[in-house]
Amino acid sequence: MKFTSRPPAAKVLSVRDLRKHYGDLVAVDGISFEVSPREIVGLLGPNGAGKTTTLDMILGVLELTSGEISVEGIDIGMHRSRALERTNFAAVYTPLPGNLTVYQNLKVFGLIYGVKDLSRRIEDVIKQFELEAFRDVKCGVLSSGEQTRAGLAKAMINRPDLLLLDEPTASLDPAIAVDIRAKIREFALSGYGGVLWTSHNMYEVEDICDRVLFLSHGKILLEGDPKTLPSEYGKENLEELFIQVAREPLTIREIGTS
Interval 58-107: pLDDT, tens: 999 999 999 999 999 999 989 989 999 999 999 888 899 999 999 999 99
Residue ranges of alpha helices (H) inside 94-166 are 102-112, 118-128, 144-156
Query: Which pLDDT band, with edges at 50, 70 and 90, does 168 fall under?
Result: confident
pTM for this one? Answer: 0.90
Measuring CA to CA, how many Å separate 221 from each of 109, 179, 189, 218? 36, 31, 28, 9
- pLDDT value for 144: 85
Query: Which pLDDT band, with edges at 50, 70 and 90, does 175 fall under?
Result: confident
Would you call 83 exposed, middle or buried from its count of C-beta atoms within 10 A (0-12, 13-18, 19+)?
Answer: buried
Q: In this structure, which amino acid lies at residue 75?
A: D
User: What structural domains does the chain harbor?
Assistant: 20-86+161-257 (3.40.50.300), 96-159 (no CATH)
- pLDDT value for 3: 43
- pLDDT value for 180: 86
Measuring CA to CA, how many Å separate 18 from each of 50, 57, 86, 214, 221? 11, 9, 20, 15, 15
Q: In this structure, which amino acid lies at residue 240?
A: E
Which tens digit of pLDDT belongs to each residue from 194-209?
Answer: 999 999 999 999 999 9
Query: Which pLDDT band, with edges at 50, 70 and 90, does 14 fall under?
Result: very high
- pLDDT value for 190: 84
Mean pLDDT of the chain: 90
- pLDDT value for 256: 55
Cα distance between residue 36 and residue 54, in whole Å: 17
Cα distance between residue 218 and residue 19, in whole Å: 8
- pLDDT value for 257: 52
Cα distance between residue 82 and residue 97, in whole Å: 25
Q: Kindly give, in sequence order, each residue whose CB lies less than 8 Å from that of residue 253, ignoring residues fewer than 6 positions away.
A: 221
146-161: average pLDDT: 94
Cα distance between residue 50 and residue 87, in whole Å: 20
The SS3 assignment for 91 reads strand
Question: At residue 29, what are phi and psi to the nearest 5 degrees?
Answer: -125, 70
- pLDDT value for 10: 77
- pLDDT value for 246: 86
Which tens digit of pLDDT belongs to each residue from 28-68?
Answer: 999 999 999 999 999 999 989 999 999 999 999 999 999 99
Strand partners of residue 223: 213
